[in-house]
């Protein structure tokens, strides 16, 4: 297969297989409302096959950072409506990543007074808050009822996203945030139906995906996982347990017929990812993680050798609004500037030049 050929992921029809990876950029202010700048940023990148938005919080206590957008208030929903319209006007497709931070936050950030997680186990380290660095708090362990209320917040947020005109949602089960915290036996020490065995630890994520699918249609729902990522103290170091947990997860997801499975793992073509893909029995979006930016050669090879249906590309889409044109014509790329990844304003956000601009 060719990286530049069309593909369908559930209800999502992509013009090519270059997917903009979810990328937190913190340009949505204290109120978490994506404004014109955010709409411009995404619209500039509308020629990728699919845009997956930055991680967006589905309820107030799940906010991880100041500047992160939400999909809770009417203003936030209207902001996303303008983003979706801007992307669609350029012929693009866009799904919203629903991200619950769980314990990766602080009351000084979310302003709610409590931080939640599967269990009262804190991350060993410090979090940057508006009042300086502080130790990560010990999270309040969600009760079974509270976990179900959180699930309902995912559902309501997915409905708001679709009502705002987005093409679907991606459930963030990766990178050490709440849903990933449920999967690991280190961050999840519960004794109810959501803790203990691999099946129980996978249950919450399966229930969230099931409920969101019932609400907006499975063909509009993707899910992201990052097995063995070992990030933010969500440790998955026992290979047998990883297998058992993710096998249980994929067995629960397969019957839903989700639009796609997105996996962040350093070896997308390796045994674990390819086994999970077969178990999922649907389209795979691959990404090899943070160690080095995804290259054109890597993306061409993953698709050419049929290791994935599409490739999520992060940093090079940040730096190249016209990455598909550059890659298809084998043109040179702009280099990303990490200093502006999480900064404010247009610099390093909407001012990376296109090829066309460079030719003038």
Ligand X SMILES: Cc1cc2nc3c(=O)[nH]c(=O)nc-3n(C[C@H](O)[C@H](O)[C@H](O)COP(=O)(O)O)c2cc1C
CA separation for the pair 147, 102 (Å, rounded)? 11
Is 352 an active-site residue? no
From the list 17, 27, 172, 180, which residue makes contact with ligand X (rule: CB under 6 A)?
172
b/e for 305-318, b at 16 or more Cβ within 10 A? Answer: eebbbbbbbbbbbb
Which two three-digit tokens encode residue 110? 């979310």
The region of 84-92, 205-213, 245-253, 286-294 touching ligand X under the rule CB under 6 A is 286-294
CB 221 → ligand X: shortest distance, Å? 15
Which one, 10 or 22, has the nearer CB to ligand X?
A: 22
CB 55 → ligand X: shortest distance, Å? 3
237 binds ligand X (CB under 6 A): no
From the list 171, 174, 248, 261, which residue makes contact with ligand X (rule: CB under 6 A)?
174
229 binds ligand X (CB under 6 A): no
Which one, 141 or 249, has the nearer CB to ligand X?
A: 249
CB 197 → ligand X: shortest distance, Å? 27
Catalytic, out of 177, 194, 246, 349: 177
21 binds ligand X (CB under 6 A): yes
Which one, 197 or 295, has the nearer CB to ligand X?
A: 295
The region of 22-30, 88-96, 101-109, 194-202 touching ligand X under the rule CB under 6 A is 22-30
CA separation for the pair 208, 200 (Å, rounded)? 13
Q: Which residues, in sequence order, are bridge partners of residue 128? A: 133
Kindly tell me the burial class for residue 249, based on how many C-beta atoms sit within 10 Å of its own C-beta (0-12, 13-18, 19 or more).
Answer: buried
CB 355 → ligand X: shortest distance, Å? 19
Which one, 12 or 23, has the nearer CB to ligand X?
A: 23
The region of 19-27, 101-109, 152-160, 278-286 touching ligand X under the rule CB under 6 A is 19-27
Which two three-digit tokens encode residue 121? 């186990």
232 binds ligand X (CB under 6 A): no
Which one, 289 or 353, has the nearer CB to ligand X?
A: 289
24 binds ligand X (CB under 6 A): yes
Q: How many residues bind ligand X (CB under 6 A)?
A: 21
The region of 29-37, 243-251, 272-280, 288-296 touching ligand X under the rule CB under 6 A is 288-296
Which one, 72 or 141, has the nearer CB to ligand X?
A: 72
CB 262 → ligand X: shortest distance, Å? 8
Residues with catalytic roles:
177
């Amino acid at each position: 297969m060719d990286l530049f050929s069309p593909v369908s992921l559930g209800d999502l029809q992509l013009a090519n297989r270059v997917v903009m990876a979810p990328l937190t950029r913190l340009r949505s202010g204290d109120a978490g409302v994506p404004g014109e700048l955010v709409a411009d940023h995404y619209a500039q990148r509308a020629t990728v096959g699919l845009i997956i938005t930055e991680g967006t919080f589905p309820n107030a206590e799940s906010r991880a950072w100041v500047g992160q957008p939400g999909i809770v208030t009417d203003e936030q929903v209207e902001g996303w409506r303008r983003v979706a319209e801007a992307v669609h006007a350029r012929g693009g497709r866009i799904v919203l990543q629903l991200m619950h931070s769980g314990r990766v936050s602080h009351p000084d950030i979310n302003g709610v007074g409590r931080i939640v997680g599967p269990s009262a186990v804190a991350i060993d380290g410090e979090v940057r808050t508006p009042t300086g660095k502080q130790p990560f708090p010990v999270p309040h362990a969600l009760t079974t009822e509270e976990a179900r209320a959180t699930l309902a917040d995912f559902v309501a947020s997915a409905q708001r996203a679709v009502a705002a005109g987005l093409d679907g949602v991606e459930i963030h089960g990766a990178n050490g945030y709440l849903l990933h915290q449920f999967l690991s036996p280190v961050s999840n020490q519960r004794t109810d139906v959501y803790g203990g065995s691999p099946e129980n630890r996978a249950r919450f994520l399966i229930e969230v995906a099931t409920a969101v699918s019932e609400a907006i249609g499975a063909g509009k729902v993707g899910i992201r996982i990052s097995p063995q990522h070992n990030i933010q103290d969500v440790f998955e170091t026992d290979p047998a347990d990883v297998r058992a947990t993710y096998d249980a997860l994929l067995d629960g997801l397969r019957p839903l017929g989700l639009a796609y499975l997105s996996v962040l793992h350093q070896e997308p073509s390796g045994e674990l990812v390819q086994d999970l893909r077969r178990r999922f029995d649907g389209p795979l979006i691959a990404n090899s993680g943070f160690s080095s930016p995804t290259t054109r050669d890597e993306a061409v090879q993953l698709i050419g050798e049929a290791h994935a249906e599409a490739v999520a590309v992060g940093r090079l889409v940040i730096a190249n609004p016209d990455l598909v044109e550059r890659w298809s014509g084998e043109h040179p790329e702009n280099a990303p500037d990490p200093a502006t990844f999480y900064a404010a304003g247009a610099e390093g956000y909407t001012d990376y030049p296109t090829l066309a601009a460079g030719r003038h």
